[in-house]
Structure 1
């Protein structure tokens, strides 16, 4: 009898959607935190902004790559650097997935 009652309670509960706790968004930390940029990166972006989030910089680099058609036609993962990108990253070409890695030297770490 008690088992039937418990089963009924469980079934009734299943009608109600379970509420998930949502993570707070909008915190300015980690990938979204504005970081000071190197002079070379500020010059490359040409906006005069001296601090941007990693995600914003990666987005702008990809916009530049697409606007200037720098992806290798035979392998879209490969980026062929023009003079401006070559000056920034000091490489002739790179894998598109390594944009964040190549940018790490251009984010100035705040001393704590």
Structure 2
């Protein structure tokens, strides 16, 4: 199946809020996810007692909300900023 164009490899536009976190689009969903994680790690936004929990700063909060969020729910929140 290599070479098939799947959703992860299709370039998407990113919202202004998301662009502030990961840079200018378009980029693939896989790149978006990778860059969001780079940002989280660079800014130490994982809860020390539970690394699956993301504690957003103001910039990331503009994308995924201001509350702590599970890394599993974060992907859905980020998806709302893709078109």
Q: How does the TM-score come out when normalised to structure 1?
A: 0.66
Alignment of 1:29-108 (within 5 A): 29-46=6-23, 48=24, 50-108=25-83
3-state DSSP of counterpart to 1:86: helix
3-state DSSP of counterpart to 1:77: strand
More relative contact order, 1 or 2 (CA 8 Å, 6+ apart): 2
Deviation at 1:88, TM superposition (A): 1.8
2:27 is equivalent to residue 26 of structure 1:
no
Post-superposition, which runs of at least 4 consecutive aligned residues in structure 1 deviate over 6 A? none
Alignment of 1:11-22 (within 5 A): none
- The count of aligned residue pairs is 83
Q: How does the TM-score come out when normalised to structure 2?
A: 0.85
Counterparts of 1:43 and 1:85, CA distance in 2: 8
Deviates more, 1:86-95 or 1:58-67: 86-95
Larger radius of gyration: 1
